[in-house]
Structure 1
Amino acid sequence: MIPFDFEYYQPASIAEAVQLYNDLQQNGKAPMYYGGGTEIITMARNSSIKTQAVIDIKQIPECQQLETKGQSLIIGAAVTLTAIAEANPFPLLTQAGSRVADHSVQNKITLGGNVCGTIIYHEAVLPLLLADSEVCISGINESRTESIHTVFDQQMRLNNGELVVQFKIPLEYTSLPHWHVKKTKLEKIDYPLITLCALKKDGAIRIALSGACSFPFRGRAMEKALNQPGEDLSKRVAQALQQLPGPLQDTVAGSSNYRRFVLGNLLEDAIDGLEG
């Protein structure tokens, strides 16, 4: 049970949604956009967040798109992980999304919710980073399309009141050789000890990770080490581990030393698999 009352709105257009947000905020309602609602409900129940108004975006047509247009795959922010898996237009994204939660919860978790939420893992963003995706964003004054590398830096960086509407993925990336693996402490479905996604494009391997550091990232410096021609694989992996963008997490789920050990093995398997 959520221990506070709130107003519920279900706009039918982007313009209506962002205007609602602006009006509600001016009235001190601390509004929140709502897709699947799994994170909002969980955090509200344990009093981690409080709002007086939620804006449900599921009735906005653009937020529900899942289609190919030109040379891009368009996925709306309110499309669930289950819908993505059933359509399977981007197998690496399907694999990453299918391990975020059990199937019943995947029916509610949306792509936008996983990418934009406050839980630090954001596993569904990893394929989007590797595929040089774009993010369609709308606010009260403008709509814009940005590279995901511009707006996602450890977490999604949005201006106040902005709504993520869609993700645009270049079609060429959706059929590339890829690799996905998730290691957890105990259960198949859990927060990751390490989640690794990889794509091979133009002979070079791209790597994105969640769970290693306290934020998800594409490891561009790691990629340089891993793609050195002629070098022994174990040496490349050792050099890549020196190029992490932050300290390895040290938690009850796994110490930093253990994560380093696991990550080293996962990198070797991924490179061996994609180069083999």
Structure 2
Amino acid sequence: MIPASFDYVRPTSVAEAVQALADGGDDAKILAGGQSFIPVLRLRMGDPSLVVDLGGIAELRGVREEGDKIVVGAMTTHHDVTRDDLLNQHVKLISEATKTVADFQVRHRGTLGGALAHADPAGDLAAPALALDAEFVIAGANGERTVAASDFFEDYFTTAIGPQEILTAIRFPKYTGWGARYEKFNRVAQAWSIVAVAATVKVEGGSITDARIGLTNMAGVPVRARGVESALVGQTMSEETVRAAAQAAAEGTSPTSDADAGSDYREHLAKVLTGRAVLAAAG
């Protein structure tokens, strides 16, 4: 199908983009990588009066170190995320999860910020961001503000980003030396997750000293498996310990039933995949 007509601007700075959104009003929409937005336009599921393309803003790309944080520009592509040395060293979980996103073509065009702002409950990057206690930097007419991951995802396809605001960067604490694994279950290659588990753990002297686990597609927003985290910390690392702790993975979740899986099957998958993810992360 052919999209409905709209105006198009390609600003070269965040300030210009914010102004363009203000001028366009509530009908203005942002184009990042376009991997989700372009199909919406083509199917006429969205009818914006103005599209603001962020592709010309160089300051929104790249990865840098700021003290005890790693900062990723919102327009950094998935391809660049998977190959960045700082992320692989200090925030390995986000690199591991990004490797599972769609296919090579999508990873070359899609962006970290675009995927997180889209907030699809089956998307692969929200649960890792939540597990890692990421911070989201958002710019608008009133300046810049920072939102914690626990407050960023509000509902299905809904985030804390206002209608005339832009996600500019994501800050991750450093998890240097932690193991990480993103365990994803889907029916066909490159498909959305039916269920997935993002796990990063710290093992010292044969014991699990810390653990952070996020669940994909177990609710309308990503969910922390805090029951599993609590059950793991302080325990001797063993398969039996991990499998037992993983039985708490579905606590506090509200998975849906659809054509891909029933809610009870998703709960079962969450337990199995959590066990696999933690064991792999712990080596």
Measured against the shorter chain, the TM-score band is 0.7 to 0.9
**SS in structure 1 opposite 2:56?**
coil
Query: What aligned pairs does 1:10-29 form with structure 2 within 5 A after superposition?
Result: 10-25=10-25
- Are positions 1:167 and 2:170 aligned together? yes
Structure 1 pair 174–48 and aligned structure 2 pair: CA distance change class (3 A) = farther
RMSD: 2.3
TM-score relative to the length of structure 2 = 0.86
Please report how far the alpha carbon of residue 8 of structure 1 lies from its aligned counterpart in structure 2 after TM superposition: 1.0
C-alpha separation between the residues in 2 aligned to 1:272 and 1:165? 34
Name the stretch that deviates more: 224-233 or 199-208.
224-233
Give me the whole-angstrom Cα distance separating, in 1, the residues matched to 2:227 and 2:56. 41
Equivalent of 2:245 in 223, 227, 236: 236
State the distance in 2 between where 1:93 and 1:7 align. 35
2:71 aligned with 1:74, yes or no?
yes
Aligned partner of 2:147 in structure 1 is 146
In 1: Cα distance, 2:241 partner to 2:132 partner: 27
Q: TM-score, normalised by structure 1?
A: 0.88
Q: What residue in structure 1 maps to residue 205 of structure 2? A: none
Alignment of 1:209-228 (within 5 A): 209-227=215-233
Contact 2:214 2:225 in 1 (8 A): yes
Q: Over residues 129-148 of structure 1, what are the superposed CA-to-partner deviations in whole Å (9 max), with x where a residue is unaligned? A: 22222111111112112322
**Residues 58 and 64, structure 1, Cα contact 8 Å, conserved in 2:** no
Q: Quote how far apart the aligned CAs of 1:120 are.
A: 2.7
Aligned residues: 269
In 2, distance between residues paired with 1:208 and 1:103? 24
Question: Could you say if the C-alpha distance between residues 142 and 76 of structure 1 is closer, same or farther in structure 2, counting changes exceeding 3 Å?
Answer: same
Q: CA deviation at 1:214?
A: 3.4
On the 8 A contact 1:210/1:217 being kept in 2, the answer is yes
Structure 1 pair 2/94, CA: closer, same or farther in 2 (3 Å)? farther
**Structure 1, gaps ≥5 residues long:** none
User: Quick check: 2:180–2:200 contact (8 Å CA) kept in 1?
Assistant: yes
Q: Show the 5 A alignment for 1:1-276.
A: 1-25=1-25, 30-90=27-87, 91-117=92-118, 119-154=120-155, 155-170=158-173, 172-173=174-175, 175-185=177-187, 187-201=188-202, 203-227=209-233, 229=235, 233-241=242-250, 243-246=251-254, 248-274=255-281
Unaligned runs of 5+ in 2: 203-207
> Aligned AA for 1:17?
A
Partners of 2:54 and 2:113 lie apart in 1 by 10
Distance 1:56 1:212, change over 3 A: same
Check whether the contact 1:62–1:166 (CA below 8 A) recurs between aligned residues: no
Change beyond 3 A, Cα 1:19–1:190: same
CA distance in 1, matches of 2:242, 2:120: 33
How far apart, CA to CA, are the structure 2 residues paired with 1:119 and 1:146?
A: 18
CA distance, structure 2, for counterparts of residue 251 and residue 165 of structure 1:
34
Cα distance in 1 for residues equivalent to 2:7 and 2:177: 43
CA–CA distance in structure 1, aligned partners of residues 46 and 176 of structure 2 = 36
Query: Residue type of the partner of 1:65?
Result: G
Between the aligned partners of 1:82 and 1:40, the Cα distance in structure 2 is: 19
